[in-house]
Structure 1
Amino acid sequence: MEIYLDANATTPVLPQAREAALAAMAQDFGNPSSTHSTGLKARALMDGVRALARRVLGAGTGELLFVSGATEGIQTAVLSALSALREAAHQPELLLYGATEHKAVPEALKHWNALLGLNLQVLAIPVGRDGRHDLAWLRAHAPRAGLVCTMAANNETGVISDLDGIEAALAGISALWLVDGVQALGKLPLRLAQRRIDYAPFSGHKLYAPKGIGLLYVREGAPFTPLLAGGGQEGALRSGTENMSGIAALGAVLAALEDGRVFRSHATLAAYRDRLADALRQAFPGVVFNAPLADCLPTTLNFAVPGVSAKLLLDLFDAAELRMSGGSACSAAKAQPSYVLQAMGLPAWQAASAVRLSIGPVADAAFIDEACARIRICG
């Protein structure tokens, strides 16, 4: 039996979500833009999921758009922000992003910065050895910035950003703020409307929904430019017929999250992580954890073993049917040292030989028991 420990890359689809997707394909298959009863039924389903997402995310009066995933959400947010900056009376000098951000963010910044002819300076916000943003650096540079991009939690290390500290550093300045919420969904309370976050993308497949569905939060009053124009769906903010099976599946996941019985508590997940860390210590006495566990998601461990390459570790784990990764799934095939760990200032050997173990928040004790037993035999 396979033990899947790569949930930060993707997750299996929750049974309730599969059932909801199939029902949307078989019974609720209407086009939500149609005005007959079949279309209205699909519209009601979509509106219900949007209302549920609004409650779960604490989105208040902000817009919640159904998109294909986080990359589209990031592209839309960056386009919206930079289009507004191009029209501003006083143009900023900088575009800022966290040095450990997912590559989708800096690549979107560079793409739209060039395409819109802004040619602003794009700078990475430094992070410390703990993986958290250098708030003093941010305070010094934010007054000259037009857009600041910081993730809520890192996909490789699980490091949780100090969003309150970042918000304080941005106080009194006009820069727009994008927060990548992908890894935080289902694991951290984001309280979107209680913060000055302008844009926040989310991806369904990182939390038990199918690939191809996501959300983009846009704060009320934040500038917005559609990435996709066409038939005027999503209030003309994101054209294209909505992915009803994906929306239905995402709705089932969000309902389970709101219900609180399927997803484990933070304390339970932290206890699971500690057990996995102990199993790694028993198997590999010299193991080094690459980020302080107290500052990380309770679902993620990033580690290295002195003198043992990431490839060898992954081969050992794979032989035991333990599925882990060498870092971000998007970069795994390139076999390069982790730029996230390099940005944190870790030694070259750690950045080159890091392995990521990540569990999903519906993991149970029996799953952790089996995972720990298999890890121990790999030593």
Structure 2
Amino acid sequence: MKARVYLDWNATAPLRDEARAAMVAAMDVVGNPSSVHAEGRAARAVVEKARAQVAAAVGCKPAEVVFTSGATEAAAVLGRLPVGAVEVDPTAHDCLWAQRREGAGRRAMGWGYANNETGVIAEPPSREAGVPLMLDIVQAVGKVPFSFAWSGADLAVVSAHKFGGPKGVGALIIRDGFEMVPVLTGGGQEMGRRAGTENIIGIAGMGAAAEAAQRDLEAGLWEEVAELRNILDSTLSSAGNNTISVGKDLRRLPNTLCLIAPGWKGETQVMAMDLAGFAISAGSACSSGKVKASRVLLAMGFDEGQAAQAIRVSLGPGVTKDEVLRFADLWLAQYAKALSRAA
């Protein structure tokens, strides 16, 4: 029996060995990072090392990195909507929302730099003067070149588990000089921008993963992933079955393939491939377990029926050409059976 093949990297990437080792080492660090004694300074050193590692991967200053429990909290730190709401209009990748905190009204633009379902990358647009810009770079970090320094954004959100770090830790990147009112107050941690004792184990893992992810990007590993994605794309979308490759002619993440298979529901595809030993996802599934049309695909002009027939296949370093071709063969065979049953 062949080993299972994981093709759902956009949902979460496998934990990197470097992250695991850093986390194990951090478990033996006794002190609180806010304490001034030797044990506390040792804990602080772990946090600051990780801060520098994340900053290098994101292209910002270490002091601009604020550790959080994940990207959702990173967006909510400013009293705004959860990060999932950033991509309300996937064709424009932006939304405007009102912030009302302590009686002050404030507008901000949230921009999804790389879409998690389709992989489509959209550069931020021109913005109104004085309107803060927040970038969702969760899917971009470690996969495509990016620098917060030249992005023009005031803020960005990052999630560790998307590039091989642990789940439950992320960061809010805040441009130097940008004023904010923190949601979590108390002990004054993270330079007064996010209260609560730092999760040094998770932070250590995030830092090590960020450094390793940047190394892989610079070494060209994601270019190899893109070649495999393109092989899979051409194989599945040129088989004469009217399959639609979403965003094929647009700039995309190197690992992401979103397919619409007419006549075959997305959740049925996921179950069939799961039984065959492959983990993928349906673009129409939400965390509640209910199935609804993907707002991303609807905004791109597809109808609800097409959106319900979409799947996402997302690869990563370590996935082999043999595995990709084996997936293609099995998927095509299952699709043919689904179409014959429907005839």
Quickly name the TM-score band, shorter chain normalised: 0.7 to 0.9
Letter in 1 for 2:298: Q
Structure 1 CA distance, aligned partners of 2:6 and 2:218? Answer: 18
Mapped pair 1:65 → 2:21: no
1:16 alignment partner in structure 2? 18
Percentage of matched positions with identical amino acids: 35
2:54 aligned partner: 53
Higher relative contact order (CA 8 A, sep 6+): 1
**What CA distance in whole angstroms lies between the structure 2 residues aligned with 1:97 and 1:280?**
27
Aligned mate of 2:115, from 137, 154, 169: 154
Within the candidate set 80, 89, 104, 1:99 is matched to 89
Task: Say which SS state the counterpart of residue 77 (structure 1) adopts.
Answer: coil
Q: Secondary structure at the match of 1:378?
A: helix
Q: How many residues align?
A: 329
Structure 1 position 203, deviation (Å): 0.5
1:286 & 1:149 partners in 2: Cα distance? 35
Aligned-residue offset at 1:223: 2.0
Shift of 1:366: 5.3
CA deviation after TM superposition for structure 1 residue 353, in Å: 1.3
Cα distance in 2, alignment partners of residues 329 and 15 from structure 1: 30
Q: Distance in 1 between matches of 2:76 and 2:148?
A: 19
- The answer to whether the aligner puts 1:333 opposite 2:323 as a matched pair is no
Choose 325-334 or 35-44, whichever is displaced more.
Answer: 325-334
Select 2:216's aligned residue among 236, 260, 263: 260
Q: How does 1:96-135 map to 2 (within 5 A)?
A: 98-100=88-90, 109=97, 112-113=99-100
> Which residue number corresponds to residue 190 of structure 2?
234
Could you tell me how far apart the structure 1 residues matched to 2:216 and 2:8 are?
Answer: 23
The one of 233, 248, 259 equivalent to 2:204 is 248
**Aligned partners of 1:79 and 1:363: how far apart in 2?**
37
Q: Output the CA distance in 1 between the equivalents of 2:77 and 2:173.
A: 11
Shift in Å, 1:29: 3.7
User: Which of 144, 150, 153 is the matching residue for 1:197?
Assistant: 153
Aligned to 1:200, the other structure's residue is in SS state strand
Shift of the 261–294 alpha-carbon distance from structure 1 to 2, 3 Å rule, reads closer
User: How far did residue 337 of structure 1 move?
Assistant: 0.7
Q: What is the alpha-carbon root mean square deviation over aligned residues?
A: 3.0
Residue 212 (structure 1) aligned to one of 134, 151, 168: 168
Q: Distance in 2 between matches of 1:309 and 1:293?
A: 24
Question: Is residue 295 from structure 1 mapped to residue 251 from structure 2 by the alignment?
Answer: yes
Deviates more, 1:36-45 or 1:55-64: 55-64
CA deviation vs aligned residue, 1:295-336 (integer Å, no higher than 9, x gap): 211111111111112132222211212111112764472200
Contact 2:143–2:253 (Cα < 8 Å) also in 1: yes
Distance 1:153 1:237 in 2: 26
Using the size of structure 1 for normalisation, the TM-score is 0.78
Distance 1:98 1:173, change over 3 A: farther
CA contact (8 A) 2:166 2:205 kept: yes
Q: Distance in 1 between matches of 2:68 and 2:199?
A: 8
**Amino acid paired to 2:12:** T
Judge conservation of contact 1:256–1:262 (CA < 8 Å) in 2: no
Instruction: Tell whether the 8 Å contact from 1:322 to 1:374 is kept in structure 2 after alignment.
Output: no
Query: For 2:77 and 2:194, how far apart are their aligned partners in 1?
Result: 9
1:4, 1:46 → 2: CA distance? 31
C-alpha separation in 2, matches of 1:307 and 1:271:
28
Give the counterpart letter for 1:296 in structure 2. R
Distance in 1 between residues matched to 2:275 and 2:138, nearest whole Å: 30
**Which consecutive unaligned segments of at least 5 residues does structure 2 have?**
336-343
CA contact (8 A) 1:68 1:214 kept: yes
Cα deviation for residue 188 of structure 1 reads 1.9
Distance 1:248 1:177, change over 3 A: same
Counterpart contact for 1:79–1:225, Cα < 8 Å: no
How far off is 1:375 after superposition? Answer: 3.5
Alpha-carbon shift at residue 378 of structure 1 (Å): 3.2
Shift in Å, 1:360: 2.7
- TM-score when normalising by structure 2: 0.85
